[in-house]
Structure 1
């Protein structure tokens, strides 16, 4: 099914959802990642603040000259309802010994969906150079970490979520649509805007619809037996091995890049690894460089000299990855790409740049590469 689905923004009247509950520990009190510095609270509605604590712990919350008291239940959970707040900030909230700073009160929005919500703002700076000097502290962004599970609804989110402002030092953490929507909303209302983004580019449309609402479309329901077989099937043979610089790929077959898998004789549905050696002068030893890998079908993970430098989860974005200082060496270097196409129509799209650029040096990456099949799902048992 096509993945161009767009889920509209929703006003988040009940700002804190139960499933945002990855725990941040501080003493005897634990808080979800979402309740942290730079957060935005929804104005004009009752607000739920919650967390966890040891038995017998008394919790006191102080916010905007109001005090709220509670204690944990038998499972250690606690929560309080804050009275509706007027827009403004920044404010400070104290929860026992924890101090949460730079809190704003305004409008909070939930953005979810696929590639149109996932597109990173870094892809737009050539067209909108003003992003590099963005100075908007009244707009905030929280990206829900990716947590794939098709079998059941999850109560917790994965660790790593963090609030960011719209200032130049933090704006590169944003997704593009969230930034421009928040900016437009702030310019219109002049009150703080908070963006909660839960998105995954290239995800199937069915993953955004509950199993209950898919009952009218039985072909789209989860096949439990097939899922079990998939989870127990063999993993990618090249994982944590074929990305290494010194791996011996002498017996691998040859392929031309750019090009389609099928045109190179690759008949597989799953993951294929590609490797290429290239030479660099002494002037590039340890230097920063920029890696351009055109467009690939579908998802990729890229390694230079065994070090991970970037990944993209779906077809459309141009691949532009930074090679940090300290990775490149004088003489022989190696690039390895783990490319996955579950349909078997993998491709390095033609008429796109495939090169490394840095310090006046350009390395052409087109031409002959080596490849090996890491996992062919059509060969998996019960596929």
Structure 2
């Protein structure tokens, strides 16, 4: 009879273990069996416990690759191939940490085809929330290499970070990605920690009941299905076939994609747009991509009556492939708006691209527009993975035996709805993760939220200030991304820039172990005679200010714009108007907006973190 053996997915072919650290290798077999593990000069035999669990402690090992681990139970052998010792990184957070290389091809068109580094390995932790208990082992997973088609699925930040690091030291790299789009910070924290912070939802115990969770999920699925059915059945555009080339739209109103629409076209329902374009002869017969930017919320696009693409939520860029272009194109866009205010993002490029030519659709005049139906606002879809502690239990807890070189974190967008207390929870998360990974000084690097203008109702400025509070913990580093975002896109494409900042911060964290920031960091503000003085920590660089800089003084709920500003070494000095007197409640703010621009930098151009300081 063949002996059963289960080796966790994290430890299978292609795995990377942390160099120069004690690692663990574990698995499951029949109870009380003896198991041996052999690689290079290492040989050890252990006994499984009564539940069949066994674990080896591996001595620290220098960087190496292409090792085979041989496991033997009785006379049966198993070989796990291509094991490396290198530097292992955990990457977590929301969709900006997830965003794969395939989504970045517009900015980095040749990166995937040219990449050829077999020493960058990556593993995607399956997205699977758990509430009843901490998951012991992952339910699936494969180690990939950052090569060819596989690279398309790898996080852009993860890849560019690893690329920079490997270029620096040539050491094998293991990237473990545990990130979930839209996830709030509470989903990555344990029940116990959230309970001590009084941050558990009142219904939390119900989440442990699988019957309740299934009922809640099914209820939402039925609602969403019913809403979509109503959307389709009541849309005049579908009933009257507005997508066809021959449809008469002469009585429709006109709009432009790059200008704000009337509000009547931005409330829930289906909005149809049509445009007829006569192409230059050089485009005819070519293959092209139709770029329409982003839309809120969903869309279907037809060209000459045929569906060429559709997207079901607002954030992905609409890039649709067209083949054998005809001389005349009738482009029809059906925008499905679920929440006000929707429509097409007016600041995005709307164009037709071939390999050698581009055509700006915004230069071709107006689009015809008509509403197909009116809908009630849709209740947002329910995602159980966003519930408190689910991702901690399902995706982080199973990694507890893994040793890491550092953690990289990019999260916070979902918490801008209510940023209060985020800083405290963030600090607790870092401490909790260090505890579960048995490393109290595990470097933790995070990205402060960039500029973003499309959620004016959310408080991105406050969230940035809360994120900064984590720098009170040793071995933390913050990357300021103000100026590196895109005001009109939640998912800025320039992930290489962010990754390089993260790698540079990773290199600096030993030199500045008490909280490092890649840009200038305001420490305190105080009044000196007729001036406000703001002191900065610049981490070895010199401070610079832009002549357009202005700061805001908050006094008795009034806001004053201060522009009489000068630089004195690593201090900013603001001369106060003679009519203005400060009190103990006075605050000074810099870049306190959802979409700030960098006016204070260091000599290398790294942006200063936005701030709010009490004036002493």
Q: Secondary structure at the match of 1:170?
A: helix
Partner of 1:236: 224
Q: Is the 8 A contact 2:300 2:307 kept in 1?
A: no
- Residues 358/204 of structure 1: CA separation in 2 closer, same or farther (3 Å cut): same
Q: Secondary structure at the match of 1:183?
A: helix
TM-score, normalisation: structure 2: 0.42
Deviation at 1:106, TM superposition (A): 0.7
Q: Secondary structure at the match of 2:11?
A: coil
Q: Is 2:18 aligned against 1:42?
A: yes
The residue correspondences of 1:147-158 to structure 2 (distance < 5 A) are 147-149=128-130, 153-158=134-139
Deviation at 1:73, TM superposition (A): 2.5
Relative contact order (alpha carbons < 8 A, sep ≥ 6): 1 or 2 greater? 1
Partners of 2:9 and 2:301 lie apart in 1 by 30
Partners of 1:51 and 1:294 lie apart in 2 by 48
Partner of 1:224: 203
Partners of 2:19 and 2:123 lie apart in 1 by 17
Q: Is 2:39 aligned against 1:63?
A: yes
Partners of 2:133 and 2:256 lie apart in 1 by 40
Q: Secondary structure at the match of 1:49?
A: strand
Q: Secondary structure at the match of 1:184?
A: helix
Deviation at 1:184, TM superposition (A): 1.5
Q: Is the 8 A contact 2:295 2:335 kept in 1?
A: no
Partner of 2:505: none
Partner of 2:239: 250
2:91 paired residue among 108, 111, 121: 111
TM-score, normalisation: structure 1: 0.63
Deviation track 1:150-199 (CA, whole Å, cap 9, x = no partner) reads 6764434353x222222234321211111111112222222111111111
- Bigger Rg over Cα: 2
- Residues 351/30 of structure 1: CA separation in 2 closer, same or farther (3 Å cut): same
- Residues 66/95 of structure 1: CA separation in 2 closer, same or farther (3 Å cut): same
Deviation at 1:352, TM superposition (A): 4.1
Partner of 2:100: 120
Partner of 1:350: 346
Q: Is the 8 A contact 2:65 2:83 kept in 1?
A: yes
Q: Is the 8 A contact 1:142 1:163 kept in 2?
A: yes
Structure 1 unmatched runs, 5+: 1-25, 278-287, 326-333
Q: Secondary structure at the match of 2:49?
A: coil
Partners of 2:334 and 2:25 lie apart in 1 by 46
Q: Is 2:141 aligned against 1:145?
A: no
Partner of 2:68: 92
Q: Is the 8 A contact 1:242 1:336 kept in 2?
A: no
Q: Is 2:171 aligned against 1:191?
A: yes
Partner of 1:53: 29
Partner of 2:116: 135
Deviation track 1:247-302 (CA, whole Å, cap 9, x = no partner) reads 9953999xx997999744755xxxx899999xxxxxxxxxx98675521346x698
Deviation at 1:134, TM superposition (A): 0.8
2:59 paired residue among 70, 76, 83: 83
Q: Is the 8 A contact 1:260 1:349 kept in 2?
A: no
Partners of 1:376 and 1:303 lie apart in 2 by 22
Deviation at 1:347, TM superposition (A): 4.3
Q: Secondary structure at the match of 1:202?
A: coil
- Residues 217/238 of structure 1: CA separation in 2 closer, same or farther (3 Å cut): same
- Residues 154/265 of structure 1: CA separation in 2 closer, same or farther (3 Å cut): same
- Residues 153/339 of structure 1: CA separation in 2 closer, same or farther (3 Å cut): farther
Partners of 2:48 and 2:186 lie apart in 1 by 38
Larger % of strand: which?
A: 1
1:172 paired residue among 152, 174, 177: 152
- Residues 377/99 of structure 1: CA separation in 2 closer, same or farther (3 Å cut): same
Partner of 1:9: none
Deviation at 1:124, TM superposition (A): 3.2
Partners of 2:8 and 2:299 lie apart in 1 by 30
90-99 vs 105-114, which moves further: 90-99
Q: Is the 8 A contact 1:57 1:72 kept in 2?
A: yes
Partner of 1:285: none
- Corresponding pairs, count: 328
Larger % of helix: which?
A: 2
2:183 paired residue among 191, 200, 203: 203
Partners of 1:260 and 1:94 lie apart in 2 by 66
Structure 2 unmatched runs, 5+: 243-254, 275-286, 324-331, 362-366, 383-616
- Residues 129/113 of structure 1: CA separation in 2 closer, same or farther (3 Å cut): same
2:81 paired residue among 64, 77, 101: 101
Q: Is the 8 A contact 2:265 2:343 kept in 1?
A: no
- Residues 322/260 of structure 1: CA separation in 2 closer, same or farther (3 Å cut): same
Deviation at 1:104, TM superposition (A): 1.3
Partner of 1:318: 317
Q: Is the 8 A contact 1:37 1:102 kept in 2?
A: yes
